[in-house]
């Protein structure tokens, strides 16, 4: 399967107005609300990279993976079916996702994924409402997602053997195992962390400058956003980042300066330390 990049993330959320304010005022991304009530978050020249549907529950609607074209999508759909995974086709959903065609399926870990090709591109310049200079996307995709799953190694086998992700490295810290996977030069577009149930742990947005990170950290403080992990620098992808709580409860990692890797000279390692410095977890307030 020839997955090129993480294309989009679609979620259902209870507090969509909260998301709108959080996205524009803290993350510095452009927002738009469509007739259905869905909130679109734009970080580059695509109509959206994150779609938030008003919902009674917090959930992942679809993690969208971009493939090379129509033939690649057909080949991928066949590979999924050969692996015993049912694939769904929905032209209405493709229109909603602003892509030419897609297939939707549920991975063995319970995560709803979509494979697509032919993303709409309107070439409108990205202008941040909060002064963020820009987000690093392009061939590296939207950023990354980290999923919680009960069986990390079994789940990662599916993502590698069927979906074609390559192993970046693994980490076991405080008894929690995390497997980092890549599909392009971004060190990881997908990671799987051990935990109960199946859920989104966090997604990551990478900004263009270190000052973009600092300014976002200031805005988070100004808006009373809870910081889940302080500013720090990760070892494996070398990302300088902080983690903040989103209105959906999961975190967003907001970072800069990650390495770009090359399969020609990459070998997986077992990381025993998650960060060079920082990424400390502040004590939880007594009322939460
Ligand atoms: Fe991350």
CA of 30 to the centre of ligand 1 (A): 22
How many angstroms separate the CA atoms of 244 and 226, rounded? 6
Whether the predicted pLDDT of 198 surpasses 90: no
Neighbours of ion ligand 1 (CB under 5 A): 204, 253
Ligand 1 midpoint to CA 150 (Å): 18
What's the CA-to-centroid distance between 274 and ligand 1, angstroms?
11
Distance between Cα 11 and ligand 1 center (Å): 18
- What single-letter DSSP state applies at residue 229? E
For the cut 70, the answer to whether the pLDDT of residue 64 exceeds it is yes
Q: Which of 203, 211, 192, 188 is nearest to 154 (CA)?
A: 192
What is the third-level CATH fold of 138-278? Answer: 2,3-Dihydroxybiphenyl 1,2-Dioxygenase; domain 1 (3.10.180)
Residue owning tokens 């977890």: 281
Instruction: Give the domain ranges of the chain.
Output: 3-117, 138-278
For residue 171, what is the enclosing H or E element?
A: strand 166-173
Q: How far is the CA of 7 from the centre of ligand 1 (A)?
A: 16
Q: What is the pLDDT of residues 109-152, one digit of tens each?
A: 999 999 999 999 988 899 999 999 999 999 999 999 999 999 89
Fold of the 3-117 domain: 2,3-Dihydroxybiphenyl 1,2-Dioxygenase; domain 1 (3.10.180)
Q: What is the pLDDT of residue 149?
A: 94
Interval between CA 207 and ligand 1 midpoint (Å): 13
Of residues 122 and 189, more confidently modeled: 189
Residue 255 alpha carbon to ligand 1 centre in Å: 9
Which range has the worst mean pLDDT, 154-168, 201-215, 256-270, 273-287? 273-287
pLDDT value for 284: 72
pLDDT level of residue 285 (50, 70, 90 thresholds): low
Average pLDDT over residues 217-242: 98
Same fold, 3-117 and 138-278: yes
Q: How many whole angstroms from 186 Cα to the centroid of ligand 1? A: 11
pLDDT at res. 230: 98
Question: Rounded to the nearest whole angstrom, what is the distance from the C-alpha of residue 91 to the centroid of ligand 1?
Answer: 32
Report the alpha-carbon angle 91-95-96, nearest 5.
115
């Amino acid at each position: 399967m020839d997955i090129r990049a993480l294309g989009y993330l679609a979620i259902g959320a209870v507090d969509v107005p909260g998301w709108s304010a959080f996205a524009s005022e803290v993350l510095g991304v452009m927002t738009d609300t469509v007739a259905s009530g869905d909130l679109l978050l734009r970080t580059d020249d695509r109509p959206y990279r994150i779609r938030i549907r008003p919902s009674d529950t917090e959930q992942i609607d679809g993690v969208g993976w971009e493939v090379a074209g129509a033939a690649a999508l057909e080949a991928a759909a066949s590979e999924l079916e050969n692996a015993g995974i049912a694939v769904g086709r929905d032209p209405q959903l493709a229109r909603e996702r602003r892509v030419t065609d897609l297939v939707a399926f549920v991975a063995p870990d319970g995560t709803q994924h979509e494979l697509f090709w032919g993303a709409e591109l309107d070439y409108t310049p990205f202008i941040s409402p909060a002064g963020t200079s820009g987000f690093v996307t392009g061939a590296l995709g939207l950023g990354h997602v980290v999923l919680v799953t009960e069986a990390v190694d079994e789940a990662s086998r599916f993502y590698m053997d069927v979906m074609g992700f390559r192993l970046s490295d693994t980490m076991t810290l405080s008894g929690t195992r995390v497997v980092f996977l890549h599909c392009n030069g971004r060190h990881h577009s997908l990671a799987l962390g051990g935990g109960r149930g199946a859920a989104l742990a966090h997604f990551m947005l990478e900004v263009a400058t270190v000052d973009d990170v600092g300014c976002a950290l200031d805005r988070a403080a100004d808006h009373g956003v809870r910081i889940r992990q302080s500013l720090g620098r990760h070892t494996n992808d070398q990302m300088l980042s902080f983690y903040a709580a989103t209105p959906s409860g999961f975190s967003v990692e907001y970072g800069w300066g990650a390495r770009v890797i090359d399969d020609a000279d990459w070998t997986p390692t077992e990381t025993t330390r998650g960060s060079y410095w920082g990424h400390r977890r502040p004590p939880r307030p007594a009322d939460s």
